[in-house]
C-alpha cells in the first residue's frame, strides 16, 4: 500500500526564477467523496488514473495508488467525470533536497497558487523558500477534489 505524505502552502512571492520544469494539467474526478477520490489526469501528453483514500486527522498522510494510462484513455475517462474540471500549470522548483510542485490554477480557480511538497515522514525538515506562504495542509477547501466542486473564484473569504 502506497502512502502519500505531503504538505501544502499558499504561494506569496515570485517563484518563477527557480522553476526548472512546467507542464499543463487537466483533471477531473470520477468520485470525489471525502473518504476516497478517483482522479483522471492529463499531464502534458500523459494520462494517469489515481485513487486516494481519506486523509489522516492533520491532512498530511493518505493512501495513494496511481497508474499511468494513455492520453486517449484519460480523455475517454474525463468524459465520465463529475462536473468541474481542474485546469492548472504545475511548475517544479527544487529547494535543497526537495521539490516543490507549484500549481498555478486557471479557469474557475484562477488566482489560486499552491505549493505542495512530498515528504518521507510528516516531521521531515525542509527548506522554506521566501515565496512560500501560509500552510494550508489539511484545509479541505484546497483539495483539488473540493476545488472542482467549490472553485476558488466563488469563495467569499480567501486567504
Nearest to 30 by CA among 3, 2, 49, 56: 49
Q: What would the 3-class secondary structure string for 141-158 be? A: HHCHHHHHHCCHHHCCCC
As a whole number of angstroms, the distance between CA 159 and CA 36 comes to 26
Nearest to 10 by CA among 97, 112, 92, 86: 112
As a whole number of angstroms, the distance between CA 95 and CA 44 comes to 23
DSSP class of residue 82 equals: P
Nearest to 64 by CA among 39, 47, 82: 39
As a whole number of angstroms, the distance between CA 81 and CA 49 comes to 12
Catalytic option among 29, 48, 142, 143: 29
Active site residue 29: yes
| Helix, strand or coil, per DSSP, at residue 37 | strand
> Which residue numbers are catalytic?
29
Amino acid at each position: 500500500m502506497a502512502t502519500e505524505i505531503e504538505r501544502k502552502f499558499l504561494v506569496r512571492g515570485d517563484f518563477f526564477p527557480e522553476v526548472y520544469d512546467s507542464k499543463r494539467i487537466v483533471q477531473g474526478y470520477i468520485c470525489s467523496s471525502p473518504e476516497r477520490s478517483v482522479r483522471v489526469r492529463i499531464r502534458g501528453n500523459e494520462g494517469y488514473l489515481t485513487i486516494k483514500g481519506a486523509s489522516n486527522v492533520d491532512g498530511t498522510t493518505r493512501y495513494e495508488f496511481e497508474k499511468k494510462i494513455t492520453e486517449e484513455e484519460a480523455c475517454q475517462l474525463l468524459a465520465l467525470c463529475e462536473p468541474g474540471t481542474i485546469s492548472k500549470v504545475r511548475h517544479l522548483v527544487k529547494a535543497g533536497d526537495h521539490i516543490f510542485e507549484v500549481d498555478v490554477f486557471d479557469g474557475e480557480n484562477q488566482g489560486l497558487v499552491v505549493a505542495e511538497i512530498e515528504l518521507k515522514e510528516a516531521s521531515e525538515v525542509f527548506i522554506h523558500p521566501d515565496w512560500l506562504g501560509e500552510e494550508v495542509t489539511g484545509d479541505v477547501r484546497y483539495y483539488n477534489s473540493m476545488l472542482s466542486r467549490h472553485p476558488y473564484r466563488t469563495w467569499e473569504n480567501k486567504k
